[in-house]
């Protein structure tokens, strides 16, 4: 089981802020911005590049969850960044698809 699967199963505590039937949102334990939240599918998909055609609805649901969570956190008005890491060079550290929501301050471009 990945770290995120253990969080979904409530075997590891997390600061959960929102949840849907197919997803969970919680604060990142190593925030890179004043607001840094992860939105993860409850289905174990290792990374975006391994999502299957049958995951199309779930992927859309995740993006709508990002929208919902960003509104809940007060980021919708000022803006936020959405990041999905893929593989070692992309910065992926947990092999479970997850979407980062970063905000609460101006974010520069390009990212690190």
Q: Which residues are catalytic?
A: 98
DSSP for 45-99 reads: ---GGG--GGGHHHHHHHHHHHHHHHHHTT-TTT-EEEE---TGGGT--SSS--E
In this structure, what are the phi and psi dihedrals at residue 18, rounded to the nearest 5 degrees?
-160, 155
Bridge partners, 41 (sequence order): 23
Residues in the chain: 112
Q: How far, CA to CA in Å, does 22 sit from each of 30, 31, 104?
A: 24, 24, 26
């Amino acid at each position: 089981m990945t770290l995120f699967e253990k969080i979904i199963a409530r075997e590891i505590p997390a600061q959960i802020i929102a949840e849907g039937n197919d997803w969970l949102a919680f604060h990142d334990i190593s925030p890179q911005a004043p607001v840094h939240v992860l939105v993860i599918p409850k289905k174990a998909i290792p990374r975006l590049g391994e999502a299957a055609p049958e995951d199309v609805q779930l992927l859309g649901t995740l993006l709508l969850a990002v929208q919902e969570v960003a509104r809940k956190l007060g980021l919708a008005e000022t803006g936020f960044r959405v990041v999905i890491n893929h593989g070692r060079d992309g910065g992926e550290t947990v092999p479970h698809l997850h979407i980062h929501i970063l905000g609460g301050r101006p974010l520069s471009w390009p990212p690190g």
